[in-house]
Amino acid sequence: MYTDGGCKGNPGVGGFAAVICDENNIPIKEFAGRKQSTTNNEMELFSIFIAIKALSTIAESGSHILIHSDSQYAINCITKWAPEWKRTGTFNDHANNELIGSILKLLKLSKLRPFHYTISFNWVKGHAGIPGNEYVDMLLNKAITDPGNLSNDVVFIEL
Nearest-10 Cα torsion for 23, 115, 136, 71: -110
Of 6, 46, 47, 31, whose CA–CA distance to 141 is shortest?
A: 6
For this structure, is 5 an active site residue? yes
| 137: annotated active-site residue | yes
The active-site residue, picked from 22, 23, 93, 127, is 127
d(CA 102, CA 84): 16
Which of the residues 5, 6, 14, 15 is marked catalytic?
5
Looking at 6, 30, 42, 137, which residue is catalytic? 137
* Annotation says 4 is catalytic: yes
64 is a catalytic site residue: no
H-type alpha helices, the chain: 40-58, 72-76, 82-88, 97-112, 131-145
Task: Find the catalytic residue in 6, 33, 44, 68.
Answer: 44
- Residue 49, classified by CB atoms within 10 Å of its CB into exposed (0-12), middle (13-18) or buried (19+), is buried
Verify whether residue 30 is a known catalytic residue.
no
Catalytic residue among 6, 30, 68, 70: 70
Given the residues 4, 30, 42, 68, select the one marked as catalytic.
4
The residues assigned a catalytic role are: 4-5, 44, 70, 127, 137
